[in-house]
Amino acid sequence: MTAHGTDRPLPLSVDRTSPVPLYFQLAQQLEAAVEQGRLAPGALLGNEVDLAARLGLSRPTVRQAIQSLVDKGLMVRRRGVGTQVVHSKVRRPLELSSLYDDLEAAGQRPATSVLRNTTEPATAEVAAALGVAEGGEVHLVERLRSAHGEPMALLRNHLPLGLLPLATEELEATGLYRLMRTGGITLHSARQTVGACAADDRQARALSEPVGAPLLTMERTTYDDTGRVVEFGSHVYRADRYAFEFQLLVRA
């Protein structure tokens, strides 16, 4: 088991003086390596006996650590192959941030393909969200966002016409919100709805999923610090690679 892109063993250790169970310490380190891309999809963990000997652990302890990651969907046991990394699942906090920035922060190496960067007449839904006349021209940006070479999300964003120049090359190099901030737009707040849908033909092809596969959906209307609507996003995400995290507080 080596760090991605190197021949060096993945640095792993356990603290026997800690009250944290040894299997859980190992599982946390392996999960972090997957999330940060140091154990890439397809990587093999190697022999459990060798890993146990290297760390001075019993084989059942190592097996328990690995099984916890199998249960989370991060790894899979394949007959005749061994334990293999499947992928990491992005857990995105519900806050005003971009998927690009969140993936970068998680060490996921995001990549973007721009599918459409054009203008089009606003539908009733888009017009209501942006506060423009139905049928009026708006800017449409549609992108496919990937991580580790695997498609994760299909992103559609409508913006008021003339808000800021959006070159395709820039959209493929960084995130939309980062371009907005660079263009002098101060993002302030958003109204967001999270839901689910079944993949249609186009979504399935783009995300490498079967038709009818469950997808997460998110619609967001974003405002700047003057109260102006600056974008309306309508996104779909692979449910096996993506999750939204909520923090719930008790109302006094």
pLDDT of residue 107: 57
Looking at mean pLDDT, say which of 32-41, 81-90, 92-101, 113-122 comes out highest. 113-122
Residue-wise pLDDT tens digits, 108-167: 567 899 999 999 999 999 999 999 999 999 999 999 998 877 888 999 999 999 999 999
**CB-CB neighbours of 19 under 10 Å:** 5
Residue listed under structure tokens 């692979």: 238
Q: 23-48: string of b/e by CB count within 10 Å (b at 16+)?
A: bebbbeebbebbbebbbbbebebeeb
**C-alpha 140: how far from its chain's center?**
22
pLDDT value at 177 more than 80: yes
pLDDT value at 5 more than 60: no
Distance CA 241, CA 252 (A): 35
Q: What is the enclosing helix (H) or strand (E) of 183?
A: none
Distance CA 21, CA 1 (A): 22
* 50-54 contacts, C-beta under 8 A, 24 or more apart: 51/1, 51/12, 54/9, 54/12
pLDDT band (50, 70, 90) for residue 176: very high
pLDDT band (50, 70, 90) for residue 229: very high
Q: What is the enclosing helix (H) or strand (E) of 165?
A: none
Residue-wise pLDDT tens digits, 14-48: 888 888 889 998 988 888 888 777 787 778 877 78
- Express as a percent the part of the chain with pLDDT over 90: 41
**CB-CB neighbours of 136 under 10 Å:** 13
**Nearest CA among 161, 168, 148, 135 for reference residue 232:** 161
Supply the pTM of this predicted model. 0.62
Distance CA 86, CA 63 (A): 17
Q: Are 195 and 217 in contact (CB under 8 A)?
A: yes
